[in-house]
Structures are given as C-alpha cells and as structure tokens.
C-alpha cells in the first residue's frame, strides 16, 4: 500500500481507460481531472478499446486534451480490450515503475488485476458507472469513484415545478403520488423491483422544500464530524461511530446505519443486502 503522506509527484502514476466502457466526453474529462487531483501532474494516460470506438470523431479532441495514448484491441473475432489493459498495467509497473493506477472501468474482469497490483505495493483507484459496477467493487480497490448515467429520456422535473406554481402544490402532489403508484404497480406486475435510484428520485419529488433544507442541515452536521469526505467515495461504517459521537451527532444505542438511511438522497449503506459495512456519500448538501 502506498503511504498516503507520500508526495504524489514522487510516485509514477497511470490512468488506464476502458473506452468500451467509458466513452462519454464529459465523464472522460471528469475522470482525468479527479485522478490528476490525487496523482499529481504528468501521469501516463492510456485509452484501450475497439478501434471504431477509439477513433470516433467526437472523442478526438478529448484524447488530445488528456494527452492519451490510444491502444486499440487486436483485430480478432473476440474483443481483447480487457486483456490489452491488463498487460499494459503489468508492463507499466514492472518496466516503468508505475505504482499508482487509475482504472476507468467497472468491469469485474479487472478485480484480479487490482488485487495483484495491490499485492505488488501499488495503489489502485477505480472509476465506474453505477449502472454496471459490481456490488462488492469497493473491496477490490483502494478508492472507488462512481459516476451516474443520465437516462435517455429524463423526467421533465422542471415542467412539474412550473405546473406546481400554476395549479397549486397540493394538486401536483396528488398527481405525482398517483403516477408513482401506477409505476410501482406496473413494475411489480413485471416482477422487476424498483431500483434504489428510482426510489430516491420519487422521494426527492415528493419532498417539500422545508424538509429538504432540514435534511441538508442534518447531513452537513454529519459531514462536519467526518471531514474530507468527498462525493462518490466510501467510508467504513465501524470507523465513523467515535467521531460522530464526539461531535454529538450520534446519540443513543440505535445502529449507526439507521442514521445514514434516514437520508437516502445523500447516503447509500453498503452492501445493499446483508450486514451493513460501508457508507457511500452520494452528494453534498
């Protein structure tokens, strides 16, 4: 494990992008920026993927901005992106002394690579999309940064708020509640459980501004007791009790996870099933 106090400029670093997985220009820029904040300037950036994906016209300026070296997969019937990236990581470590890695992919195929690199004394950060990240991903990396993926046809939230001003808040709340019930019934009839993201979205629409402000104040007190907690990162549940009690945020004998579950828009208790072990901060109040 790389010591957190070591200067980033003394540790060779490399960001390896699975372009078959990450190919949105804004997300690629965000990944590069966040890894740069952690690894320092001048790190290596390699992008692996299918040749058609790598050389898309819309991605050309992005690769130029990131100073990325493009490494297309072999022209075989089977996609070789994952194998290319794994080989590249090992070469960078053994031949060039890279000890700090960023892997932009939530593919579980890279979990063995991360474990092996960590055994070699490397530090590995994973950048993953929430929609495809495997559940136990936080156990295989030193740091995990998740990215939300916008739906193809987002809900017209702004239109609902405008209508609320015209028709009255009570009428809109009834309409939203009726719509939510219809969606729940249709989903249950298809034997498909409502996703955690869908529940959070529905709750956010039905929550009053006063409640939002109240929740935001309570969440800020929690974050004041746990400084330097950044969105899309995870903290161990068993390490948060003492500082939260010292700050007066945690009182009584109720399980700590219950406190975080009171604010689902801000926190996610992990794993989603089974004994709670970690908490992910979704956003700042």
User: Tens digit of pLDDT for each residue in 48-80?
Assistant: 999 999 999 999 999 999 999 999 998 887 889
pLDDT, one tens digit per residue, over 78-91 is 889 999 999 999 99
Distance, in Å, from the CA atom of 142 to the CA atom of 236, rounded to the nearest integer, reads 12
- pLDDT for residue 184 is more than 50: no
Query: Given pLDDT bands bounded at 50, 70 and 90, which one contains residue 207?
Result: low
Q: Which residues pair with 16 in a beta bridge?
A: 46, 103
> 11-147, which class in CATH?
alpha beta
- Is the CB of residue 123 less than 8 Å from the CB of residue 2? yes
pLDDT, one tens digit per residue, over 246-284 is 888 888 888 999 899 888 888 888 887 778 888 888 888
Q: Residue ranges of the domains in the chain?
A: 11-147, 153-206
**Length of the chain counted residue by residue:** 285
Q: What is the pLDDT of residue 210?
A: 66
pLDDT, one tens digit per residue, over 112-151 is 999 999 999 999 999 987 766 777 788 889 998 887 644 4
Distance, in Å, from the CA atom of 98 to the CA atom of 95, rounded to the nearest integer, reads 8
Q: Which residues pair with 104 in a beta bridge?
A: 17, 127
Strand, helix or coil at 276?
Answer: coil
């Amino acid at each position: 494990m790389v010591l957190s106090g070591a200067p980033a400029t003394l540790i060779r670093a490399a960001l390896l992008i699975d372009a078959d997985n990450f190919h949105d220009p804004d997300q690629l820029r965000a990944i590069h920026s966040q890894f740069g904040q952690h690894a320092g300037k001048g790190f290596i950036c390699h992008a692996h993927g299918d040749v058609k994906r790598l050389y898309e016209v819309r991605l050309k300026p992005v690769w130029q901005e990131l100073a990325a070296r493009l490494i297309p997969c072999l022209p075989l019937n089977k996609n070789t992106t994952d194998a290319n990236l794994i080989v590249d990581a090992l070469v960078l470590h053994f031949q060039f002394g890279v000890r700090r890695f960023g892997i932009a992919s939530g593919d579980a195929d890279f979990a063995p690579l991360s474990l092996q690199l960590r055994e070699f004394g490397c530090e590995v950060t994973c950048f993953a999309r929430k929609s495809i990240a495997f559940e136990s991903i936080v156990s295989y990396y030193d740091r995990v940064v998740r990215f939300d993926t916008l739906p193809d046809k987002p809900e017209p939230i702004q239109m609902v708020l405008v209508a609320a001003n015209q028709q009255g808040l009570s009428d809109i709340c009834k309409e939203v509640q009726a719509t939510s019930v219809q969606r729940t019934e249709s989903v249950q009839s298809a034997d498909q459980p409502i996703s955690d993201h869908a529940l959070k979205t529905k709750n956010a629409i039905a929550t009053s501004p006063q409640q939002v402000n109240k929740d935001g104040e309570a969440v800020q007190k929690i974050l004041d007791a746990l400084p330097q907690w950044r969105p899309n990162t995870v903290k161990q549940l068993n390490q948060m009790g003492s500082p939260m009690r010292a700050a007066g945020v945690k009182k009584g004998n109720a399980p700590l996870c219950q406190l975080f579950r009171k604010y689902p828009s801000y926190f996610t208790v992990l794993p989603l099933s089974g004994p709670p072990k970690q908490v992910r901060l979704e956003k700042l109040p």
